[in-house]
Structure 1
Amino acid sequence: MPTVTAVRRIREGAKAALPRSVGERLPAAPPQEVTDLLHDKRFQRAVADAATEQERPEEEVWSEVKGYLHEMAAAHDDRTAQGWARMGDWFLRAYDVLVDEDDMHELRRLDRSHSLALAFSHRSYLDGMVIPNALSSRRFSPTYTFGGANLNLPLIGTVASRTGLIFIRRATQEIPVYRLALRSYIRQMVTNKRNMAWSIEGGRTRTGKLRPPVHGILKYLTDSVEGDDAPDVQVVPVSVVYDQLHEVSLMTEESRGASKTPEDWRWLVRFARLQRQRMGRAYLTVGEPFSLRERMDELAAEGVTGHQAVERVALDISHRLNRATPVTVTAIVSLALLGADRALTVDEVLETVAPLAAYIDARHWPVAGAADLRDRATIRRALAELARSGVLTAYDGGTEPVWKIGDDQHLVAAFYRNTVIHILVERAIGELALLTVSELEPDAELPAGGALQVGWEEAKRMRDLLKFEFFFPSRAGFEDDLRTELRLLVGEDAQEEGGDMTPDRARELLVNARPHLAHLVLRPFLDAYLVLADRLADHGDSPVADDDLLADSLAVGQQWALQRRVASAESISLELFRTALALARHKGLLDGGDGIGSAREAFAAELREAVRRVNVIGEIAGDPVQVVVPEARPATEPQESR
């Protein structure tokens, strides 16, 4: 049976990687980092201080910290690593892995003289096999990778720890000694000039785009490079994207409220079996490295220290990761079909993709595998592969084949589209800024900067509205990027006409621009935000629990999707609702109190207006999707949903 075969292959691979005898399973001596730590005076003082602070016997704290070090300690064994790499290749059998060899060549030169901290985007469990295999096959120094303790399965965990995988716990707020052990272990890794890799997001993305960065590992790394005699670390953003992923359908079920499948042997076997079907290519690209110590010094000179400095570095990494992530044909085809929300022929897909391809060329964004997005065979192959995996349905009983997104597959298609969405967001905001200018009344009172200043303010407002969803540069950097987008959008007219631009001229420029992206890029997120904002406003001045608000948003969101009050079912996602929840919390709208109901209603009204404007862009673009934008609820309306 397939399950038995999968179990046998995994166990045989694990056993092949293990040393020959049980007595050799653990190294005769602890890994170098552990030995060095136990003899380090600074670490000994830190343990003693912890014992004093917690009012515990020092011997008890030492016993606890040694246990944690043993739990997280990893080593590199050549024979084990070779067996692990072979098993990794078997897990990756669904893909051809493409690596940017020029980038890897430059990175290997850096590896010879520096400790590398590889921060990677995390879209799949396969990332943990793609990255180590790519590095080891190119003879990089051994890399130690941080992974969740939930993956420390029997037998497999033993093998993995001998290939440099460091299993760490996620919830450590109530375990101060564990945090001391991990911080010290990372510091010792930096001192010993080890290469380290970790997911800047902390866990897999459920939407396809980069998630907000988690600061834990990065905080310990920044601590390690402080001081005149501290060693430096080169931070290296690493992006891994896939044409398609077997596990996306499971993640989208979680986005609809399903429980997450626990990682155990049964999960591992199911995951291994999924890889039997070919899914195209995986692409590994490297972003621009930077010195962590130099960056921390720059921030300190600006007066940015402590947690704020860590946040800035995390955002730096996220920006570089996005810039290193190539455009895949799958993402562009998914964008076209999601925007149409109907069956398209190859010619219609090409017609939609052509202006996008021109824009991507103009912005010099990399395309995965150097694919030609205007090539008919390339687009047709992507359509066929998406149909084979069930994301699309194909009908060829008429005069020519047509493809559309399959029933209940919108979130899957959105996952693939979102891998490219970061390159389109500022363009979409630029369209909304121009639309704002076009809608000004002829006798409207304008600021000193004229009509375009109104557009700039709208762009900044949209940036603030979406800042929990996307990674924007600093305000100055955002304005520079937006000027670039406006030049591409309307040519030099925006700069030449300055504050004298009229609403009619702005409308003309917007109508003639290509492509139009706001409805394709922003509408799914703003629709989701509006659902949650509406449900929040329904509570008036009363406090609301997070889980109750999310459940209510899922239920009412399904209703709105059926009523066509949102454009697509992809907006009905827990991941998007959680981001909207974070925005509402940032605005202070979750706690109850007198007058909070009015602020909640204002939040909902702001989102209704944003959705309306996005829909206007869709109408200008000839978007066939017809949406009934929800109106504001009268104050006297009965609140039945409560």
Structure 2
Amino acid sequence: MTRRLPWLDGRPHPRDVLREAPFAGALQRYAEQLGHSVEAVREEAEPVLDEMLASHRERVAGAWNTFGRWMLRAHDVVVDEEHLVELRRLDRSHSLAFAFSHRSYLDGFVLPLALAARRFSPTYTIGGANLDLPVIGKLASQTGMIFIRRSTKDSALYRVVLRAYVAYLARHGANLAWSIEGGRTRTGKLRPPTHGLLNYLADAVDQHDETDVLIVPAAIVYDQLHEVSRMTREAKGATKTPEDLGWLVSMARLQGRRLGRAYLSFGTPIPLRERLAQLRNEGIGEAHLVERLALDASHQINRATPVTVTAFVCLALLGSDRALTFDQVLLTLSPLADYVESRAWPVAGSATLTDESSIRRALHELVDSGVLDCYDAGPESVWQVADEQHLVAAFYRNTIIHVLVGRAIGEIALLEAADTLHPPGAPQDPAKATKLAVRAARRQALALRDLLKFEFFFPRRDDFLAELREELATLTEPGEEPEQTTARAAEAIDEAPLLLSHLVLRPFIDAYHVLADRLVAADGADIHENDHDELLADSMRLGEQWLRQRQIASAESVSLELLRNALKLAEFRGLMRLSDQRPSPATTDADHDDSDDSGDPRGSDHEPEPLSTNHDDTAARRRDLAERRAAFLAELTLVNERLTHIAQVAQRRYLTVTTPRAADAAE
């Protein structure tokens, strides 16, 4: 591919750009569809392109990079240099499309500055028009920043121009960068990917044989962030602060206080043309190609996201119902560190997760920022999550939650197997009992995958079950097969050196439980879209009540972000209105190897058709809706009971272990 990077010295007039390929062909087709003249359409498109047109000016870029480094002064940026060396080589012959995770406004500085410092070809970064601030926006557009509208549904011409602009940049070999999530995560974990920019890049590759694009998954994670407290207030229902110059000044001032490190790492590049061909050969329909590409990139971002010591410490303290001494924190983290090492997950800054100085530093930094509370007037200092800071601590913990969710599901699946093995009247034949237990564990794991489909990125069904076997292998004795572990499931849980499910899954299950209770309270009545805000508000109120009654474990479950995902799941299952019934998980056969889950938006290529019904009697259909809502609540109640059981096992073990310091004192 010949690289002819556009507009490195100045910004051309939009009118001139619109006459070049691929704009000319796109506007011609659009004009023909509307029956308008090309000149009239081009005149209408000129101000549209003018909104987004960006350039690279060396002098402005130098000043902007200085401003960016100043905005990042709260963090030391640690970059994945090994991968950047290879990307620098690929940069000579490919258009690199960096799809990055988005946890902070600072992301827009971290990636471009790292690339510029290593002399990559100029990158065009795509951001929301809400950040196109007076003066600042004009300067940013001269450093490759492309500002686009947050919603383009109302303007077909805008989409035509943006699609052509992306294709134009890709044809010229320009590098691109954008948040694959479409906006900042409010929970710390990766949000569902948006497909728009990937769609445009796929079209650009399909329509031009010489366009060569590599999708580069990029993970950006921080020890801490000043803006997290604002985001968590929004998760509790506060109004979002609008982005204006006053907001920018406030954010810039906050960066004066140090908050540790920022980490930039990369996943394996995805050759766009080759991957599209591969998916088509697998029989994936055109409508789902970009969906699969987006999932590929999201999985790679999660895999590249390193485990931070801060996230580890927050995980330990969020899972405790009491303050912990330093030795107790170490005791909690040691098996977690062994698990991360056994699964070969990357660790931020190549740190040792059990290094006492690193853990102590993370504790002190979290105390300094107000996330943790430290009581040091007694014989030993103790730490706990500070009041009103559970959502902040959860944000940091959630940066690594994808590492742990598979193991957590495996534990619940083992409990299901144990119940299958030891009910009254269970079959005595060991081989038959083991087979039933294995089937029960698989069924439970797939049910949890379906239940949490709007929270996590799960692989397709067969890959998920293969990963489940790997997770069960971490619970086995040396030389033991996962099936053998399942056959002695209760013992495996009791003997496991690490139990995670109550730490990882309970916040989500508790939030879903709250919303399910409100659905059951509605009996069989329809809940329309204009009723959703009231349903969420009612759920928030019930969540606050249950928190005070200790019916839910943590304040992090009282979050609009989690409740909205519970609402999505309820809608997907047809639990909101009579008119949109869908099959429940019970109507699918989880034991057929050739079946897939029922419409998993993050792990399947199809959605089920609305469930047909022969109910002519509206009253009967309403009773059916009420029963299905009750079944949803019962499903969550059962999972909660299993989480409680595992929490109790973990707590008993924890209380019987003597810490090293206590042992020394006893002597």
Q: TM-score, normalised by structure 1?
A: 0.90
1:597 match: 626
Deviation at 1:307, TM superposition (A): 2.8
Q: Do the aligned partners of 1:537 and 1:601 also contact (CA within 8 Å) in 2?
A: yes
Partners of 1:224 and 1:230 within 8 A in 2: no
Q: Which of 9, 19, 34 in structure 2 is aligned with 1:38?
A: 19
> Is the contact made by 1:447 and 1:453 (CA closer than 8 Å) also made in structure 2?
no
Alignment of 1:528-607 (within 5 A): 528-544=511-527, 545-592=531-578, 594=622, 595-607=624-636
1:325 aligned partner? 305
CA distance in 2, matches of 1:420, 1:215: 24
Moved more, 523-532 or 488-497: 488-497
* Secondary structure of the corresponding residue to residue 147 of structure 2: strand
Query: 2:419 matched to 1:424?
Result: no
- Return the alpha-carbon distance in structure 1 between the equivalents of residues 453 and 12 of structure 2: 49
Q: Which residue of 2 aligns with 1:510?
A: 493
Q: Secondary structure at the match of 1:439?
A: helix
The AA in structure 2 aligned to 1:605 is A
Aligned to 1:471: 457
The aligned runs of 1:255-404 (5 Å cut-off) are 255-404=235-384
Q: Where in structure 2 are there 5+ consecutive unaligned residues?
A: 1-6, 579-620, 655-667
Match among 183, 187, 206 for residue 207 of structure 1: 187
Secondary structure at 2:474's aligned position in 1?
Answer: helix
RMSD over aligned Cα atoms: 2.0
Whole-angstrom CA distance in 1 between matches of 2:508 and 2:425: 33
C-alpha separation in 1, matches of 2:483 and 2:525 = 49
Quote the offset at 1:226 in angstroms. 1.0
The alignment partner of 2:481 has SS state of helix
Which residue does 1:6 correspond to in 2? none
In the other structure, the counterpart of 1:491 is 477
Q: How does 1:235-274 map to 2 (within 5 A)?
A: 235-274=215-254
Q: Which residue of 1 aligns with 2:599?
A: none
* Structure 1 match to 2:509: 526
Greater Cα offset, 52-61 or 570-579? 52-61
Determine helix, strand or coil for the equivalent of 1:304: coil
Q: Structure 2 vs 1, CA of residues 488 and 65 (structure 1 numbering), >3 Å: closer, same or farther? A: same
Instruction: Give 3-state SS (helix, strand or coil) of 1:490's partner.
Output: coil
2:665 alignment partner in structure 1: none
Asked if the contact 2:216–2:266 (Cα under 8 Å) also holds between the matched residues in 1, the reply is yes
Residues 209-267 of structure 1: CA deviation (Å, up to 9, x unaligned): 00000111111111111157241211101111000000000000000001111000111
Q: Which of 139, 143, 147 pairs up with 1:167?
A: 147
For 2:539 and 2:34, locate their aligned partners in 1 and report how far apart those are by CA, in whole Å: 43
Preserved contact between residue 240 and residue 282 of structure 1 (Cα < 8 Å): yes
Contact 1:433–1:455 under 8 Å retained in 2: yes
Question: Are 1:190 and 2:173 counterparts?
Answer: no
Matched residue, 1:144: 124
CA spacing shift, 1:25–1:226, aligned 2, 3 Å = closer
Structure 1 gaps of 5+ residues are: 1-23, 626-642
Q: Distance in 2 between matches of 1:355 and 1:275?
A: 35
Look up the equivalent residue of 2:384 and give its one-letter code: K
AA aligned to 1:443 is G
Residue identity matched to 1:600: R
- What is the aligned partner in structure 1 of residue 425 from structure 2? 443
Contact 1:411 1:570 in 2 (8 A): yes
Whole-angstrom CA distance in 1 between matches of 2:11 and 2:411: 64
Instruction: Report the alpha carbon displacement of residue 27 of structure 1 after superposing the two structures with TM.
Output: 3.8
Q: 1:61 to 1:427 in 2, by over 3 A?
A: same
CA-CA distance at 1:391 after TM superposition? 0.3
Cα deviation for residue 495 of structure 1 reads 1.8
How far apart are 1:444 and its partner, in Å? 3.7
Q: Deviations over 1:173-216 (max 9, x none)?
A: 11000000000111111111110000000000000000000111
Q: Deviations over 1:513-547 (max 9, x none)?
A: 02100000000001011111111121122122221
Aligned residue number for residue 448 of structure 2: 462
Distance 2:480 2:157 in 1: 58
Q: What residue is the counterpart of 1:616 in the other structure?
A: 645
Where 1:146 maps in the other structure, the secondary structure is strand
Amino acid in structure 2 at the alignment position of 1:527 = D
TM-aligned CA deviation for residue 373 of structure 1: 1.3
Contact 1:37–1:188 (Cα < 8 Å) also in 2 = no
CA contact 1:340–1:623 (8 Å) conserved in 2: no
Q: How many residues align?
A: 596
Tell me, in whole angstroms, the C-alpha distance in 1 between the residues paired with 2:34 and 2:433.
59
Q: Tell me how far apart the structure 1 counterparts of residues 508 and 128 of structure 2 sit (CA, whole Å).
A: 29
Q: Deviation at 1:624? A: 11
Q: Is the 8 A contact 1:118 1:235 kept in 2?
A: yes
The equivalences for 1:42-57 within 5 A come to: 43-56=23-36
Cα distance in 1 for partners of 2:25, 2:68 equals 41
Deviations 1:272-292 (A, max 9, x none): 111111000001111111101
- CA shift, 1:494, in A, is 5.6
Distance 1:28 1:510, change over 3 A: closer
Q: How does 1:4-43 map to 2 (within 5 A)?
A: 27=10, 29-30=12-13, 35-40=16-21, 43=23
The whole-number CA distance in structure 1 between the counterparts of 2:407 and 2:649 is 15
Distance 1:485 1:620 in 2: 19
Counterparts in 2 of 1:589 and 1:494: CA distance versus 1, 3 Å: farther
1:124 & 1:363 partners in 2: Cα distance? 28
Q: How far off is 1:51 after superposition?
A: 3.2
| CA-to-aligned-CA distance 1:81-107 (integer Å, 9 cap, x gap) | 110000001100101111111111111
Output the CA distance in 2 between the equivalents of 1:44 and 1:497.
62
Q: How far apart, in 1, do the equivalents of 2:482 and 2:559 lie?
A: 43
Report sequence identity in percent: 54
Give the letter aligned to residue 636 of structure 2: L
For 2:63 and 2:111, locate their aligned partners in 1 and report how far apart those are by CA, in whole Å: 16
My pick for the range that moved more, 46-55 or 373-382, is 46-55
Aligned counterpart, 2:109 = 129
